[in-house]
Structure 1
Amino acid sequence: MSVAYVLTAILLSIALIGSGRAKLVKDEKITAGLTKVGVPESWFPRLAALELAGALGLLIGIAYRPLGIAAGAGVVLYFAGAVLTHLRARDLKGAPVPAVLLLLAAAPTLLGIATA
């Protein structure tokens, strides 16, 4: 078991849980940013579910690495879509947060592959 994988998986899971929770409770800052780029509020629960599933998969991946790798890859794709959505809407101020989360998601994914 790689300590680096465990730490990055836990850190990313905490970020995903926080982001998912913010979407579920419709935090004003999150709601404003998402609606600004054209995401309908009806999508918030689905997006939150994807983030929470990613967090759960990463945490289970500590014990069962293939699931952690798959969850990490899914989270990478999720945030790649988020970055593209912000860029397509020309929301350059909103793009850095999902870009950082995209990079953070790549860490446990690559570490999981390297230590599988």
Structure 2
Amino acid sequence: MVTAYVFVTVVTILANAAIAGADFARARFVLANSAAVEVPRSWLPWLGALKATGAAGLLLGLLGVPGVGIAAAAGLVLFYVGAVAAHVRARVFATMVFPGGFLALAVAALVLGVAR
């Protein structure tokens, strides 16, 4: 169980750190996707900060602060539920796999963190 928790959490950390970096860099695919779901460009730094904070919290959880890790995973779950809802609201289903994938990682990290 510990191996699964560490693996899933590390993958979740790396994925969220990478997408936060893309948000901060205003990557073309981020701009296109945010425009499609009607998220203002001015929100991108804040959204990136939330993702980066979630990744940092998960890292702290791995380093021995389990309450912070669980809170970070729960926060990422809520964040990505909102992202999926934004895609559904805007009827942008072609790129739903991305927030859905991030949501699945966050849920797995949360479940494994609580079970640990």
Provide the identity percentage.
39
Partner of 1:80: 81
1:38 to 2:38 alignment: yes
Partner of 2:15: 15
Shift of 1:81: 0.4
Shift of 1:3: 2.0
For 1:68 and 1:6, the matched residues in 2 are separated by 12
Stretches of structure 2 lacking an aligned partner (at least 5 in a row): none
Shift of 1:35: 1.1
For 1:27 and 1:44, the matched residues in 2 are separated by 10
Once the two structures are superposed, the pairs formed by residues 1-116 of structure 1 within 5 Å of their partners are 2-62=2-62, 63-115=64-116
Task: Tell me the amino acid that sits aligned with residue 24 of structure 1.
Answer: F
Shift of 1:7: 1.3
Task: Tell me the amino acid that sits aligned with residue 83 of structure 2.
Answer: A
Shift of 1:105: 0.7
4+ runs deviating over 2 angstroms: none
Stretches of structure 1 lacking an aligned partner (at least 5 in a row): none
Task: Tell me the amino acid that sits aligned with residue 71 of structure 2.
Answer: A
Deviation track 1:52-81 (CA, whole Å, cap 9, x = no partner) reads 000000000011111111100000111110
TM-score norm. by structure 1 comes to 0.95
For 2:65 and 2:37, the matched residues in 1 are separated by 36
Task: Tell me the amino acid that sits aligned with residue 5 of structure 1.
Answer: Y
Task: Tell me the amino acid that sits aligned with residue 107 of structure 1.
Answer: A
Aligned length: 115
